[in-house]
Amino acid sequence: AFFIKKGDTIFTERPLVSAQFLWNSLYKYRACDYCLRALETAEENARRLSGNPALILPHAELCGVRPEMHQACPQCQVMYCSSECRQAAADQYHRVLCLGPSQEDPDHPINKLKDAWRSMHYPPETSSIMLMARMVAVVKQAKDKAHWQKLFSRFCSRTANEEEEIAHKLLGEQFRGQLTLLHSLFSTALYDDHLNRWFLPEGFRSLFALVGTNGQGIGTSSLSQWVHGCDALELPAQQREHLDSFIDQLYKDIEKETGDFLNCEGSGLYLLQSSCNHSCTPNAEASFPENNFLLHLCALSDINPGEEICISYLDCCQRDRSRHSRHKILRENYLFACACVKCESQRDELDVTSEDEEEEEGGEGETEGDEMEEEMTDV
């Protein structure tokens, strides 16, 4: 047992599988098809997001993107940030999922599956059918298929009723009847004898629920990496002020042009991270400081030997709501009642919903699936 100091990296972890969200990719958030590293330079990214094609970023050398290293799959042309990522994807799953010259063919079974998913799951996105497709492809390509199936089976499993609830929450009220359609398209595109139980209606629902409850949001951005680099520069006071106001203005322009969607976004399945329990006062959080899918779990406070490491399945705003509101979100999305220190200390609170939430419920309600995942972590 050892003492962990606030700010320490507790562990880093690569996902078993990950995938960029489909709308995010369609909207030209260009990311490595394997590790989700942003492929636009910080300047290209800032120009697109701010709608200003003439924008010049100072200190451009702080951008870590290396376009000369990028490589496309020779068959289907999907892009990777390096030859290593292209090779890793081919070795793990891409040989099964490569569409070759049919990459743009709307009638290809995999494109039909993607299209159906996009028509049911709008931004803000919290999951992707392609995460499930990659799970299937990994097992199909693996020499030791049992090993991979065992790894995937280590993610928390649910009862049939709970799976049904999670699947419906992920799809949202208007699409809850569409699971059968997705199942049929998924089977047509990917069926495999070794995995026949994943293709039974109940097996498909289990897979769906597994991705819904264990998928960890991933966010990468060459612009925010450039901003972190700028923040770390040692500059004379006047230059620092000038740079800070340039960055502030840039973010205002981006907000006006693009709104909140700044990052390449996707999700992944992380074995270690998914075994961390929830607390409304977490002592650790996940982030992606390397601008790719490598998850860093960092301590938010000092952690003593023997103390449990907990993350939060709620974002900052949700954590500030009343105990009743927090329990409602956790019950609907993760199907458990929280008994963390904060919840226990607020046990005697009246069962009231936070005012801001009552307004939402009176209006159009929370966006379906918004809380379905751990907080989408900015980089």
- pLDDT one-digit tens code per residue, 174-187: 787 889 999 999 99
State the DSSP string of 212-227. Answer: HHHPEEEEE-HHHHHH
More confident residue, 126 or 82: 82
| The residue type at 58 | P
Residue 46 pLDDT greater than 80, yes or no: yes
CB distance 1 to 300 below 8 Å: no
CB under 8 A, 24+ apart: contacts of 284-288: 284/10, 284/309, 284/310, 284/311, 285/311, 285/312, 285/375, 285/377, 286/216, 286/311, 286/374, 286/377, 287/377, 287/378, 287/379, 288/218, 288/219, 288/220, 288/377, 288/379
For the chain, what percent of residues have pLDDT higher than 70?
A: 91
The per-residue pLDDT of the chain, averaged, comes to: 88
Residue 231 pLDDT greater than 80, yes or no: yes
CA 341 remoteness from chain centre: 28
Q: Name, of 41-45, 124-128, 257-261, the range with top average pLDDT.
A: 41-45
Structure-token match 């509101």, residue found: 325
More confident residue, 369 or 90: 90
Per DSSP, helices labelled H in 62-221 are 83-89, 95-97, 109-120, 129-141, 145-153, 160-171, 179-190, 201-214
Q: How far is CA 88 from CA 13, 65, 94, 120, 138, in A?
A: 16, 19, 9, 31, 11
For the chain, what percent of residues have pLDDT higher than 90?
A: 67
| The residue type at 365 | G
pLDDT number for residue 363: 42
pLDDT number for residue 313: 80
Question: Alpha-carbon distance 80 to 12, whole Å?
Answer: 22
Q: Which of 259, 146, 160, 151 is nearest to 209 (CA)?
A: 160
Mean pLDDT of all residues in 83-90: 98
More confident residue, 151 or 339: 151
Q: Cβ neighbours of residue 360 under 8 Å, at least 6 residues apart?
A: 366
pLDDT number for residue 359: 47
Question: Alpha-carbon distance 246 to 250, whole Å?
Answer: 6
CB distance 18 to 133 below 8 Å: no
Report pTM: 0.86
Q: Which of 188, 209, 210 is nearest to 199 (CA)?
A: 188
More confident residue, 351 or 233: 233
Residue 331 pLDDT greater than 80, yes or no: no
Q: What is the pLDDT of residues 206-224, one digit of tens each?
A: 998 899 889 999 999 999 9
